[in-house]
């Protein structure tokens, strides 16, 4: 096990958990979206607008294929597990945690977000439908499903950190 991938829908807490987890496990943390933004020198909405969503999806797969070979925590974009190739890379190169949150919690967090093109172009109903379409892929990709409803960031982080230590043979 080299990489720890956090997967799940937009607004499920991947970045918040990833940062805390990095501190607790002393593993470096990377946010896939930020890495793509850095590489392209453009924001996510600009990439969508200039090159289209399909190009963005290719950039996600390129990231997974080429990112440095080290022990680290990676918060993935919400659409990453929709591609079979991405699912296979993640499962082959690391351990995958799906952060499960109810749609109403997610909606509360993402409704007014201007940096997520999918939110910008969709209604609440569209986003809920997409959430339901994606969920089986998240479940299928993950080694662990982590329930986040009514749990503090601290509790969620402790649970994942425990599993990482166990898998690395530290417990």
Residues that bind ligand S3P (CB under 6 A): 10, 14, 33, 44, 77-79, 116-118
- When the beta carbons of 96 and 118 are compared against ligand S3P, the nearer one is 118
Cβ at position 54, least distance to ligand S3P in Å:
12
Sequence-separated (6 or more) residues with CB below 8 Å from residue 164 = 4, 21, 25, 27, 95
Cβ at position 49, least distance to ligand S3P in Å:
12
State both tokens at 3.
């990489």
Task: Look at residues 91, 98, 55, 41 and name the one whose alpha carbon lies nearest to residue 75.
Answer: 98
Q: What is Dmax (Cα atoms) for the chain?
A: 48
- When the beta carbons of 94 and 117 are compared against ligand S3P, the nearer one is 117
- When the beta carbons of 78 and 94 are compared against ligand S3P, the nearer one is 78
Task: For residues 150 and 97, give the distance between their C-alpha atoms in angstroms, rounded to a whole number.
Answer: 18
Cβ at position 79, least distance to ligand S3P in Å:
3
């Amino acid at each position: 096990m080299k990489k720890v991938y956090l997967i799940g829908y937009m607004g499920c807490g991947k970045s918040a958990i990833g940062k805390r987890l990095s501190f607790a496990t002393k593993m470096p943390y990377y946010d896939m979206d930020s890495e793509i933004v850095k590489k392209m020198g453009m924001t996510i909405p600009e990439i969508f607008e200039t090159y289209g969503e399909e190009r963005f999806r290719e950039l996600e797969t390129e990231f997974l294929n080429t990112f440095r070979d080290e022990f680290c925590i990676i918060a993935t974009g919400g659409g990453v597990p929709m591609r079979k190739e991405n699912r296979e890379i993640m499962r082959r190169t690391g351990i995958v945690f799906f952060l499960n949150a109810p749609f109403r919690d997610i909606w509360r967090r993402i409704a007014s977000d201007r940096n997520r093109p999918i939110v910008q172009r969709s209604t609440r109903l569209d986003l809920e439908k997409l959430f339901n379409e994606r969920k089986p892929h998240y479940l299928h990709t993950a080694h662990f499903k982590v329930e986040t409803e009514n749990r503090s960031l601290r509790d969620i982080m402790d649970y994942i950190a425990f599993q990482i230590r166990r898998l690395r043979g530290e417990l």
